[in-house]
Structure 1
Amino acid sequence: MKKFLITIFIVFASVQVNNAQTYEYQIVTVVESIVPNGLGRSRMISANESRDYTEFTSTRTEEDNDRNKSKRGDIRVKDFDETKLLNFYNLGGIRFQNIAANDAVVMSKINAMSEEGWELFWINSGVESEGGKGDGNGIFITRFTFRRAK
């Protein structure tokens, strides 16, 4: 009986290893302005072309301390979707209606990607507010990472 269970375990483990799934990923970034008086710009951005990070990467060692010489223009992506969003503030202060409108637009993008087979896999967000200078400027940024099976 013990040998039978071990055999079943080995067969099951090998099947699991052979069924390892690979994914492709897509990132959608939402940048929302928290600049007073509605002076900032808010956008949802998603790239339509890819880059190979290895072209812009160098491995530095004690013997080889050369940095990657890639030009910034080679890294830039010119084919991307830019969706206009509303700013969090206007002359009257914070606009909750603008936040709700942005949520509706972002949900529309998430739903469209879901219909295309993408799974919302991870969300990261952060705030840069006032830059430590008391200037009242800043952004709220959220990155939505989607994946789908290859």
Structure 2
Amino acid sequence: MKKIVLLITLIFVSFTDAFAQVEYKIITSVESIVPNGLGRSRIVSATEDRDYKEYTSLRSDDKKEDKRNKADRSEIRVKNFEETKLLNFYNLGGIRFQNIAANDAVLTSKVNTMIEEGWELAFVTSAVESAGKGDGNGIFITRFIFKRNKE
């Protein structure tokens, strides 16, 4: 009897987890790699939602079937967001490892806070943007993608 109750409990827990609604949240860090400390570095997090469908067009080879999106690009802009200052990678003396360590401490705090709020770090992706050879300007961007079950 105990085995049957345990089996039913395991099946129930498996199904409830499978049907759980999941939500995602993206936190972006932008760290300047502009020399002489002239850039800006931040952690950015939207506090407003946007529905991508409102800004999406349907295109096809048949011009009669095209459904163009007439949305104004300014409607996409999020005016309410959280912005946390970070230090730039460079200053007048060159690369600042102390600044990198400070940014790591702030980012760790943000990640830990998200986890305390019930979010799970699902993915991390990063990239560097620079115009090319000899260009000392650019950004290092990291996206932290969190998920949690909707309540």
Q: With the length of structure 1 as denominator, give the TM-score of the two structures.
A: 0.85
The reply on whether 1:51 has 2:50 as its aligned counterpart is: yes
TM-score, normalised to structure 2, is 0.84
Task: For 2:81 and 2:16, locate their aligned partners in 1 and report how far apart those are by CA, in whole Å.
Answer: 37
State the distance in 1 between where 2:149 and 2:33 align.
36
Identity of aligned residues (%): 66
Amino acid at match of 2:50: R
Structure 1: where are the runs of 5+ without partners? Answer: 1-7
Structure 1 residue 78 corresponds to structure 2 residue 79: yes
Please show how residues 12-91 of structure 1 align to structure 2 within 5 Å: 16=15, 19-63=18-62, 64-91=65-92
Q: Which runs of 5+ in 2 are unaligned?
A: 1-6
How far did 1:17 drift? Answer: 8.7
RMSD over aligned Cα, in angstroms? 1.8
**CA-to-partner distance for each residue in 1:39-96, whole Å, 9 max, x for gaps?**
1000000000100000000111122335322111100000100000000000111000
| TM superposition shift of 1:99 | 0.3
Counterpart secondary structure, 1:99: helix
Number of equivalent positions? 137
Question: Residue 105 and residue 18 in structure 1: after superposition, are their counterparts in 2 closer, same or farther (change >3 A)?
Answer: closer
Q: Which residue of 1 aligns with 2:99?
A: 98
